[in-house]
Chain A
Amino acid sequence: MSIDAFHRCTGVAAAMLRPNIDTDAIIPSREMKRVSKVGLGEGLFAGERYLAAETREPSPDFVLNQPEYRDCCILLAGPNFGCGSSREHAVWALKEFGIRAIVAPSFGAIFANNCVRNGLLPVTLAQAQVEDVADWVLDAPANNHVTIDLDLQRLVAGAISVTFEVDAGARQMLLNGLDAIALTQTRWNQIADFDRKRRESHPWLYQQESSMP
């Protein structure tokens, strides 16, 4: 299977800076209607995006409904973004909506992993830096484009230019659009060898199977 590679992204950024935006908020469980990874974009932030879940009437207060954010591809978020449920639907919904990168002081660990597995870049910056970027964007949201360059590990927003750290493994996966399973399958001999030894050293984990109800 193919994963989208991520090198660079420039565009409109929207700020949702409150802390602890959980994956239930990113996509409510009631929006996960089908046995599928697609068709989830409409459910993104459904709880605050629509005045009523049934009518889908857009809430004018919600940032991503405002016309200047129509082409938003970057989210500026608060601490612990994506905490809570492990649902990967949160990432699938963000991607389908057009979000390519999220900048926050910290992320829910499972969510950050899910991002990397789907070609979405989580960027960790200090809270003050995220707020500075958000302030600059707010002056003219449609025109003040933010650039995130993963090759250079740099975020540029007007006069603001900051570098960010990314785990080396995650960076390689994103830059090359690597499929983690295919990558791990190149280590097959090591895995099979480990598996064989494990069966010898911990036989009780393998003996019971045949007698199971």
Chain B
Amino acid sequence: MASTLFDKLWNEHLIERQDDHTDLIYIDRIFLHERTGSIALESLEADGRQVFCPEQVFCCMDHIVDTYPGRGDDTTMPSGRDFIVATRSAVAEAGITLFDLGDPRQGIVHVVSPEQGIVQPGVTLVCPDSHTCTQGAFGALAWGIGSSEAEHALVTKSLRVQRPRTMRVRFEGALSPAVSAKDMVLYLIAAFGASGGSGYAIEFAGPAVEALDMEARMTLCNMAVEFSAFTGIIAPDDTTFSYLRGRPYSPTGDALAQAENYWRSLRSDPDAQFGRELVIDCADIEPSVTWGTSPEHCVPISAAVPLSVGSDDPARERALRYMGLAPGQRLSGLAIEAAFIGSCTNARLSDLRAAAKVLRGRRVADGLRAICVPGSMQVRAAAEAEGLDRVFIDAGFEWRESGCSMCFYAGGEHFGYEQRVISTTNRNFESRQGPRTRTHLASPVTVAVSALRGCITDPRDFL
């Protein structure tokens, strides 16, 4: 019978059926971070349990570490140091590989794992972080879990998982200039709703997806969780294989040939049946920006805040009140106080290059707070080798060390009360980036041009 890529990945990791819906699935690799990893490991110790296979477990310091140059274990978040110290001690005790502060490989978990070649086609990989779906871009089955599930995976190298249904989202045609993977996924979520992918494992496919480089594919898969999907996956191809070659944890020599031979089998059969199929014509996708407090509150940047449709909608009213906007108000030209380039969504080298291209030789608007937080210290080093740090700094951006930073407010650094921020991150939830901070999600190039003008700006104005 014809199988989808998801079916192949799932069945290959199926230890045994538990009941009609739930399977015991083998987990190849696990990532932890200091925010929840410390709690999971301490809980295991309290229960007298041990990590089964620590050599397949990795940990990043990313969630609450500071990103100021010269940072240490102290954090602007009160008590952040406790999480860092507890994590360091627990992973050392368990024998887990740590990408610690000061390590040139440190960074955001979903940037570090691909960079190191830890995620590979055909593996199952879990992390107590919802954006683990990012790593599905490699043809891996990668998904976010809670702390209890992390403990389960650490101890048993398996998880009890309800088998999701399958969906394929085909992006036909080609992207227009200044339109990126971020705009693709925002378009998808706006068109089908923030819960449109609920219960599904989604394969992203079609010529526009095949044309994306690995970093853009990661951006697309990253926001599968904002679509409420179990995860996103992209079939691995030569783009994937060439990205992985020479990475520290990638296979070499004969093992590489053996692995690549297997990796090439990881694609949906031509006549595989999906539970649901969506088709999007890329000609319809423009640079996008969110206006509200859910990623589904998103429109083309040339459009206005939607007028009410039919009956009154309290959630929409609440979002507009929170954002200080009115129906029919144009987004382009809306004044912003800050611009943020960072996060597991859009802080890889290609994202920084796209932003730097428009920032080069220009200055951000007077009084605007602009921050760039590279996705990893390797991204940072690679950007510096190209002189991108000078481009950002000369344009008026702060140039930071790596971490999740102000993608979310953990009690430390934040964008202020009712400050309007345009951000390359993934969530525009109420108070996500600071107390009552107003977040507009967009692509790196849209954030960069908006920073220059001091207002939400269509990147096509700069072509």
Contact = CB atoms under 8 A, between A and B. Distances in A.
Contact of B20 (A18, A35, A113, A168): A168
A84 B130 contact: yes
B16 A167 contact: no
Nearest to A179: B47
A41 to B, nearest CB: 16
Given A33-B78, A83-B228, A86-B144, A190 B15 contact: yes
A213 B58 CA distance: 13
A181 B79 CA distance: 30
Interface string A183-196: 11101101100110
Interface string A97-130: 0000000001011110110011000000000000
Contacts of A33: 78-79, 411
Nearest to B90: A35
A30 B410 contact: yes
Contacts of A34: 79, 82
Contacts of A37: 39, 43, 147
Contact of B408 (A24, A25, A212): A24
B42 interface: yes
Q: Interface centre among B47, B151, B429, B435, by most A CB within 10 Å?
A: B429
B36 interface: yes
Interface string B263-307: 000000000000000000000000000000010100000000000
A38 to B, nearest CB: 11
Q: What is the size category of the interface that chain B forms with chain A?
A: 35 or more
Nearest to B155: A181
A80 interface: yes
Contacts of B29: 205
B262 to A, nearest CB: 7
Given A18-B314, A184-B160, A212-B249, A204 B256 contact: yes
Given A35-B86, A204-B256, A20 B152 contact: no
A167 B42 CA distance: 30
A11 interface: no
B248 A212 contact: yes
Interface string B12-47: 000110111110101011000001101100110001
B249 A180 contact: no
A113 B24 contact: no
Interface residues of A, number: 62
B346 interface: no
Nearest to A185: B156
Contacts of A91: 146
A36 B46 CA distance: 12
A47 B294 CA distance: 16
Given A169-B21, A181-B152, A88 B195 contact: no
Q: Interface centre among A22, A33, A204, A209, by most B CB within 10 Å?
A: A204
Interface string B43-66: 100010100010110000000000
A186 to B, nearest CB: 10
Nearest to A209: B55
A18 B297 CA distance: 14
A114 B122 contact: no
B36 A202 contact: no
Contacts of B11: none
A47 B430 contact: yes
Given A83-B228, A84-B429, A180 B148 contact: yes
Contacts of A83: 194-195, 228
Contact of A181 (B77, B86, B156, B250): B156
Contacts of A114: 146-149
A63 interface: no
Given A187-B24, A204-B251, A106 B195 contact: yes
B156 A191 contact: yes
B145 interface: yes
Contact of A208 (B78, B144, B249, B294): B249
27 contacts: A1-B47, A18-B318, A20-B294, A24-B427, A25-B429, A34-B82, A35-B42, A47-B430, A86-B36, A86-B128, A88-B146, A106-B228, A114-B149, A169-B162, A183-B160, A187-B158, A191-B15, A191-B24, A191-B26, A202-B259, A204-B259, A205-B28, A205-B123, A207-B255, A208-B249, A208-B251, A209-B55
CB-CB nearest 10 A-B residue pairs: A30-B411, A204-B251, A117-B148, A114-B146, A169-B22, A88-B146, A204-B255, A80-B195, A86-B130, A88-B147
Given A190-B16, A204-B259, 8 more contacts: A19-B294, A29-B411, A30-B410, A35-B42, A35-B83, A80-B195, A86-B36, A181-B49
Interface of B: 15-16, 18-22, 24, 26, 28-29, 35-36, 38-39, 42-43, 47, 49, 53, 55-56, 77-79, 82-83, 86, 97, 120, 122-123, 128-130, 144-149, 151-152, 155-158, 160, 162, 194-195, 198-199, 225, 228, 230, 248-251, 255-256, 258-259, 262, 294, 296, 314-315, 318, 408-411, 427, 429-432, 435
